[in-house]
Amino acid sequence: MRTAFLFLTVCIFLVSSNPFKATAQHTVSDFLLTAFEDRNTTHFDAQKAFLKPRNYRYPILEEVELRMGNDEQTYEDLQYALRVRPGNPWRIRRNDAFFNATRKELELQKRREYKENLMMRYELTLEYFLNRELAAMVEESLDIVSRKANIMEENLQSELFDGKDYSEAKLDQVEAIEKLEEALVKLNRIQAEIELILDTGDLNWINFSLIQVETIEELAADIATQSNPSVELDLISQRAEVARQEGRVEKADFDIGYAQLEYFPFTNRKSNYGFSVGVTLPIFKDNKPQIAERKLDELELEGEFEFEQHRDSINKIREYQHLKNLIAQHRLMLKKVDELNLKAMQNNLANSEDFDPLTILDLQEGIAKLDEVILKSRFRVLSQFVDFLYTYDALAKSPLTNYLSEDLMLIE
């Protein structure tokens, strides 16, 4: 009861000291959902909106030319011609394919930004809950050492009074106050950052229940069996495709020829009209350096993809194994704490005839330290679980899920 009261006191202090006065309530899921509203993704929408065929498509007719000629400098030899130079159909199609690939690349870049935004919010959320719990525990420890010091002050004239123990209790108070101040500063900083993102000053996550370690173990085992490429790998692969399509456009960048309609108004011919056609043979290319440059880009990205693919598979194995190790370590800590059974010892001493309140408080202080060890162990598991989800590209996977919630609620 005392712990709950102290925890509530800390939370009330934090809320009442906040300079914002908004009244709307925002959940953890609301905070995670803001990852898709960040301004760092708006330029992708603007670029995609610009990529319409009319803004990049080559024209069907590249050139229309009206010509006039006179070989013999006489009026009767005057002639006219209309020359049309059609667009290269291979270049037109390949240019369309290039910009379609570019559009897909922009979409993947946007997905990567969403993933990074989500990761940042998951980390902030975990920091908030960890520091909130630590602040409450430090407050409880301060209360315990303060009661010890008060008991000693009330028995200054007793034969059992020990000045050294009294000094140590006072110094423990100083240390606890310092730790509390540090915890509250961290908590206020994180809370302020979350409230700025949410644009609210009424952060109230007291009733939020974090996911259990057992659920993490089951969920991680299921996710680890799924072999889906990460968005980073998809992006590198798509960049290689963009380079390949750009190279194909360069190869098709040549003039295919012309068609010309001729008119001879003053000559004695059966017909005053004629035509001529010219076809360009693309034997010599003046853009070979550009073609070679695009090919080098493609080869570089293909090599980068193979390297990142190998590293991604290793990272997945490492992150999953590290998560399993932390879960095993957390359970070992729980087992050792249970074996100590300090709470039962405290109850037995409290019911004994030679009841010593200082000894009871010493045990309470030890229990509080063990609770802090277990708390940090649990949050190490939670932090590694988030890293695991990031590596397996599960954070932004549809349906969008709040992986920190106890019931794995969907984010809508």
Predicted confidence (pLDDT) at residue 1 exceeds the cutoff of 50: no
Highest mean pLDDT out of 14-18, 191-195, 198-202, 283-287: 191-195
Q: How confident is the model at residue 12 (pLDDT cuts 50, 70, 90)?
A: very low
Burial of 91 (0-12, 13-18, 19+ CB in 10 A): buried
276 bridge partner residues: 260
Per-residue model confidence (pLDDT) at position 15 = 43
Q: How confident is the model at residue 19 (pLDDT cuts 50, 70, 90)?
A: very low
Predicted confidence (pLDDT) at residue 52 exceeds the cutoff of 80: yes
Q: How confident is the model at residue 7 (pLDDT cuts 50, 70, 90)?
A: very low
Do 406 and 212 contact (CB within 8 A), yes or no? yes
Please give the average per-residue pLDDT across 201-221, as a whole number: 90
Please give the Cα distance from 187 to 127 (Å, whole number): 8
Mean of pLDDT over the chain: 85
Per-residue model confidence (pLDDT) at position 303 = 94
Please give the average per-residue pLDDT across 201-218, as a whole number: 89
Predicted confidence (pLDDT) at residue 165 exceeds the cutoff of 80: no
Give percent of the chain with pLDDT exceeding 90. Answer: 48
Rounded to two decimals, what is the model's pTM? Answer: 0.81
Per-residue model confidence (pLDDT) at position 339 = 86
Please give the Cα distance from 246 to 96 (Å, whole number): 10
* 6-10, 100-104, 105-109, 314-318: range with lowest mean pLDDT: 6-10
Per-residue model confidence (pLDDT) at position 76 = 65
Q: Render pLDDT for 240-280 as a digit per residue (tens, 0 to 9).
A: 999 999 999 999 888 888 898 988 887 676 778 888 898 88
Per-residue model confidence (pLDDT) at position 157 = 67
Predicted confidence (pLDDT) at residue 43 exceeds the cutoff of 50: yes
Residue 218: partners with Cβ closer than 8 Å, 6 or more residues away: none
Per-residue model confidence (pLDDT) at position 162 = 72
DSSP H helices, 341-397, are: 342-350, 357-391
Do 129 and 409 contact (CB within 8 A), yes or no? no
Per-residue model confidence (pLDDT) at position 384 = 97
CA distances (Å), 287 to each of 95, 98, 249, 251, 357, in order? 16, 18, 11, 8, 90
Please give the Cα distance from 141 to 151 (Å, whole number): 16
Would residue 408 be called left, alpha or beta, if left means φ above 0 and alpha means ψ between -120 and 50 degrees? left
Predicted confidence (pLDDT) at residue 68 exceeds the cutoff of 70: yes
Please give the Cα distance from 408 to 219 (Å, whole number): 10
Per-residue model confidence (pLDDT) at position 227 = 74
Predicted confidence (pLDDT) at residue 113 exceeds the cutoff of 60: yes
**For the chain, what is the radius of gyration of the CA atoms?**
37
Q: How confident is the model at residue 75 (pLDDT cuts 50, 70, 90)?
A: low
Predicted confidence (pLDDT) at residue 16 exceeds the cutoff of 70: no
Predicted confidence (pLDDT) at residue 104 exceeds the cutoff of 70: yes
The CB-based long-range contact list for 149-155 (8 Å cut-off, 24+ gap) reads 149/173, 151/357, 151/358, 151/361, 152/358
Per-residue model confidence (pLDDT) at position 102 = 95
Predicted confidence (pLDDT) at residue 170 exceeds the cutoff of 90: no
Do 249 and 298 contact (CB within 8 A), yes or no? no
User: When comparing pLDDT for 202 and 306, which is higher?
Assistant: 306
Task: List the one residue out of 146, 132, 162, 129 whose CA is nearest residue 365.
Answer: 146
Q: Render pLDDT for 322-370 as a digit per residue (tens, 0 to 9).
A: 999 999 999 999 999 888 887 777 777 666 666 677 778 888 888 888 9
CA distances (Å), 115 to each of 19, 267, 284, 404, in order? 31, 75, 47, 16
Predicted confidence (pLDDT) at residue 221 exceeds the cutoff of 90: yes
